[in-house]
Amino acid sequence: MKTIQISTYDIQGGAAKAAYRLHQGLRQIGQKDRMVVRHKVSTDASVLAVTTPVNVPNSFTSAELQDHYIDTHRTPLSSTIFSLSYPGYDLSALAPIQTADIINLHWVARFQSLVTLQKLFSLGKPVVWTLHDQWAFTGGCHYSAGCKGYQQNCTACPQLADELNHIPEAILMDKFDLWRDANLTIVTPSRWLADCAQESALFQGHRIEVIANSVETNVFRTYAQSRS
């Protein structure tokens, strides 16, 4: 079976390291696993870096919107990132994607757009999306900071001040429209995140599994608890 891991980074950041450990573990047990990323830091030949955006005519506009509207209109509610889905790197025609039996998405912000994700979903392959934060089912925030707007329609986003264009609501509606037929299984590393996904308007009808992040068993191992 051929599997593929898709992540913005390979070994930079916690989400990337979790994805890369999974990639390594699958290869160590003989699986034909590849990893496709936007930013490659490792020297691993099984990791493919895609550096040219495809089919993103509005990427400059999106970048300007992120920098000069979203980032400058944040409220003190949360210091975590709030990101639009840009740029879109179309991976659907890549040979490793075409030959894969299963696609495993990870943290793909600023690598995959809503449209390029829809292109992957439309290939008809089973897709596992391992969530590392809440972005996949919100209107743009990576951590909702207690807001439950993602359970309905993300109106009146408390993380954006003077938000008159209803951008979070529009983003979430686009996710509904573009991903409605996706063959998705959602995986989370915690029960809390699984509960959030299950309660979300977008993923409440999907299969959701809790699978803890893997670790290198040649580096980490269990010990008996010492008692003083």
Distance CA 116, CA 128 (A): 16
Burial of 183 by CB count in 10 Å (0-12 exposed, 13-18 middle, 19+ buried)?
Answer: middle
**What pLDDT is attached to residue 61?**
55
Degrees, nearest 5: CA angle 158-162-166:
70
- Mean pLDDT over 87-115 rounds to 93
**C-alpha torsion 109→115→116→120, nearest 10:** 110
Is 24 contained in some domain? no
Spatial separation of the C-alpha atoms in residues 156 and 169, rounded to whole Å: 8
Q: Which domain holds residue 82?
A: 47-210
Is there a domain that residue 226 lies in? no
Give the closest residue to 186 by CA, choosing from 168, 198, 176. Answer: 198
Here the tokens at position 164 are 């008159």
Q: Is residue 147 part of a domain?
A: yes
Residues 6+ apart with CB under 8 A from 1: 31, 32, 101, 102
| Range 171-191 average pLDDT | 95
Reported pTM: 0.90
187 DSSP β-pair partners: 130, 209
Q: What is the spatial distance between Cα 92 and Cα 112, in angstroms, rounded to a whole number?
A: 11
What domain count does the chain have?
A: 1
Which residue, 111, 114, 128, 146, is CA-closest to 40?
111
Say how far apart CA 45 and CA 195 lie, in whole Å. Answer: 37
| pLDDT confidence of residue 36 | 97
Local confidence band at 60 (pLDDT 50, 70, 90 cut-offs): very low
Tell which residue, 209, 142, 145, has the closest CA to residue 171: 142
Residue 27 lies in a domain: no
Instruction: For residue range 161-178, list pLDDT tens digits in order.
Output: 987 678 899 999 999 999
Which comes out higher in pLDDT, residue 87 or 201? 201
pLDDT in tens, 16-52: 999 999 999 999 999 999 999 999 999 999 999 997 7
- Lowest average pLDDT, out of 60-64, 73-77, 110-114, goes to 60-64
